[in-house]
Amino acid sequence: MGASASLSQQEKDDFMRECHNIYGIADIDDQTMFMKIREKILALEGATSPPQKAALDVLKKVPNSDSRATTPLTEANSSNYEASGKLELDEHIIVPQQQPDAQNADADADVVGQVEQVAEVIKGEEGEGEVEGEVTSGEGEKGDCGEAFEGLDGLRGWVEEKDLDIDLDDVEAIEELDWSEADLEELPASVALIGKNVTELALEKNSLSEFPGSVMASFTSLVELYLRQNQLTSVPDEIGCCVNLDSLYLEDNLLTTLPEGVSKLKNLKGLCLHRNMLTSVPECIYSCKALEELYLDSNKIATLHPFIGNLKNLREFGVQSNCLTSFPETIGKLTSLETFHAESNSLTILPKAFGKLSSLRRLYLNSNSLTKLHACLGKLPRLEILNCESNQIEKIAKRIKDLPNLRFLLLANNCITALPFNPSETAKGLRRLTLSGNQLDEATMKLEKLDSLAE
């Protein structure tokens, strides 16, 4: 068969989803069969001729184990290239032999029977037997279906080659899979065969540049996914199939965005994206309203969208070491936030809405360009740690003294010339006060060393 236009990614994805929908309710043998068929089609150089398209239609509608004899093949029927008494393996795909337009009314039943026979050979249930009319290779020689379709046997070979720790005798029993630090550069499509019941998948510290969408779509039971420290430049949209995902670790990759499929992860509570190449927060994240922990530090993010206020369940939020100059007023809607890392940015001012962060306990604003310690920070009743070191602060609002639970007030390396209150008198619970690197008189500097502040 001559080379032709490649099968489009959309066609591949549509077919893979179709296969998944079918084998997701079948037994393991049927899963193996469908995966082998899918792998064969993915190897196709092109699917533009009518016979090839008809074959795709047939294969898409292979019935599952409970309905093989009755599933209609209406799309295949509408083609002039209906299957007859034999199927030919045309180099890359099982192709129905072309028939005259006068095909009789039993064509559908014939097709079902023929595909069923091919499936039996693929599954090895007929041993050395052959499909009626022979299954042949593209060169006209007899083909070996075991070689033509990788399936579980192919996966076993790959696992052995990579020396991976996994028992493939009962793939239904696999719930945790750890292939971290295994020198993996890619994942074969056959990995999807073992994804159905896996709840925890660890592939961190490898050299993966992509995660196949077909594989991702099969891990529908995933709760935890570890992909940190790879070379990923993208995440497949099929991640939206992992609707039970609770924790997603993507730090230390080369990501510039995330797919829209992430917005479907309604149960996602933890998302780690630090040390990637993001220039903005992917908007799909703002739809993950169950998020409790979000780490975006060490990227190149310049702004936060007002949609950040959607994440009302956030408890820990890290945006340190980015390019932020301000926060939207909607930041005040994060009323569950307890820890906020915003150090090492270019912040010059804080919105008044900061005063609405009623659950905030730890606030890190060090290494920015703030010139004032705003009064809004004095409205945080649970605040214990306030780190504002290494800014350009000249003034401190008097309300800071009203923080009842403040334990650490870190103000070193600023431009402060005076304190508007005496911490030893007004902040009774204060354990540590740093003032060095300012323009304070000697008497004020002694407050730093008071025994009452050094407990």
Q: Where are the domains of the chain?
A: 9-148, 163-293, 302-455
Return averaged pLDDT per consecutive 10 residues of the chain, 455 residues in all.
48 59 44 57 49 50 39 34 34 39 45 46 38 32 34 88 89 93 95 94 97 95 98 97 98 98 98 98 97 98 97 98 97 98 97 96 98 94 97 94 92 94 78 93 81 49
336-387 residue pLDDT tens = 999 999 999 999 999 999 999 999 999 999 999 999 999 999 999 999 999 9
Domain 163-293 shares a fold with domain 302-455: yes
Architecture of the domain spanning 302-455: Alpha-Beta Horseshoe (3.80)
Question: Sheet holding 224-226: strands in order across?
Answer: 176-178, 200-202, 224-226, 247-249, 270-272, 293-295, 316-318, 339-341, 362-364, 385-387, 408-410, 432-434
Distance of CA 117 to the CA centre of its chain: 39
The alpha carbons of the chain give a radius of gyration, in whole angstroms, of 31
**The CATH number, out of the four listed (3.30.450.20, 2.60.120.260, 3.80.10.10, 3.30.70.1450), of the domain defined by the range 163-293:** 3.80.10.10
Which is it for the CA torsion 342, 348, 352, 355, positive or negative?
positive
- Predicted confidence at residue 16, as pLDDT, reads 61
Q: How far apart are CA 314 and CA 192, in angstroms?
A: 33
pTM for the whole structure:
0.68
Residue 12: what pLDDT?
A: 59
Residue 369 has φ and ψ, to the nearest 5°, of -125, 35
Supply the pLDDT for residue 424.
Answer: 72
